[in-house]
Amino acid sequence: MTRFGFIERRTRRDINLMPLQTGGTLTPEARRALVEWGDGYSVCDFCPGTLDDIKSPPIDEFVHEALPKFLDMDHARLTGGAREGKFAVMHALGERGGWIVVDENAHYSTFVAAERAGLEVQVAERTPYPEYRITPEAYERAIEQGTERFGRPPVLGLLTYPDGNYGNLPDAASIGRVLHEHDVPYLVNGAYAIGRMPFSGKKLGADFVVGSGHKSMASAGPIGVLGVSDEYAPIVLRKSKRFPIKEVEALGCTARGVVAMTLIASFPHVVERTTPERWEREVQNAQWFSERLEELGMVQVGDRPHMHDLVFFITEPLYEISKRTKKGGYFLYREMKKRGIHGIKPGLTRHFKLSTYGVEREKLKMVVDAFREIIEKYS
């Protein structure tokens, strides 16, 4: 039992480049909310029977007014995470023998959610290395191939925007038009977009959008958001026959307690940071950082020019060092740790992804200098 009790998170004060964490860093207001609302089902003191209708604290105003406006969708709900939102849509639309179209860059949870919902998957293939782009033409081909393969049209098309490996931002609006031309409902997985950058579900033509509070909306987690259009709200937000105030796909209520309150506490900051001007600075920082690493012999994979903070690198200079040092692939993690830099998974040297989101240019310079020093040290 001596291992349990309070456990310090020793990396919290480091320069953090972990894509899963940079957009989820809590605001001061959210840290206060952690303490204030941390007791169990703390938000349920005045619950009328449904989480989304709680007026004190004002979860109803957030879910039914502020969040749909922010997502630019007709309806919104809180979920247990982006993957839970994807599953809710797939399960609601799914039918025996059904299938969906998914981009090849999609997160593994997309495929697992489809499997859990009993749906087959047809992949819209990406372009070759080094861009790995997802195109509207790929969705056109996937619909044709899947219809021939399964003998019926797809029940859903899903796009990852951006993907969590390369940070590519596909032409989501054009892909949506392709799907709608085939009468296929359209889901945009914005786990790395919603809360980081300007986002409009309607401009993308989406029938559904999902986002991640703990990845991109400065919230404790797990928590996600789901946006739904008027057309599909009766299906995805349908109520239970036995318990008429409970929504079936939400299993009654979803993100109960402190995670919802941290999302609400950070929301004004999240709205402010997703202006076009703020996002342009984030993109400029990512591009600057990528250029500096390529000067050290690394290769950025994905869109060029890169338009997102999540960036993937092929890092042969570091891999060559790992083959010569006794520490092997762990030498880089240890060298970075000594310099107060966190985010590269232990053991990775040949390739890795980083996120520059929210990291000031001066700190990014420190990271570049650290890579340079390490390469020179082992050369």
82 is in an annotated binding site: yes
The torsion region of residue 261 among left (phi > 0), alpha (psi -120 to 50) and beta comes to alpha
d(Cα 144, Cα 101) in Å, to the nearest integer?
10
189 is in an annotated binding site: yes
Q: Please choose, from the candidates 321, 318, 327, the residue with its C-alpha nearest in 3D space to the C-alpha of residue 293.
A: 318
Rg over alpha carbons for the chain, rounded to the nearest Å, is 22
278 is in an annotated binding site: no
Enumerate residues 6+ apart whose C-beta is below 8 A from 7: none
33 is in an annotated binding site: no
Q: Report the length, in residues, of the chain.
A: 379
214 is in an annotated binding site: yes
Enumerate residues 6+ apart whose C-beta is below 8 A from 106: 158, 160, 163, 189
Q: Please choose, from the candidates 205, 200, 170, the residue with its C-alpha nearest in 3D space to the C-alpha of residue 187.
A: 205
Contacts 24+ apart (CB under 8 A), 227-231: 227/67, 227/68, 227/71, 227/72, 227/73, 227/74, 227/75, 227/76, 227/201, 228/73, 228/74, 228/75, 228/76, 228/77, 228/89, 229/73, 229/74, 229/75, 229/201, 230/74, 230/75, 231/207
343 is in an annotated binding site: no
Annotated binding site for pyridoxal 5'-phosphate: 82-83, 189, 212-214
Annotated binding site: 82-83, 189, 212-214
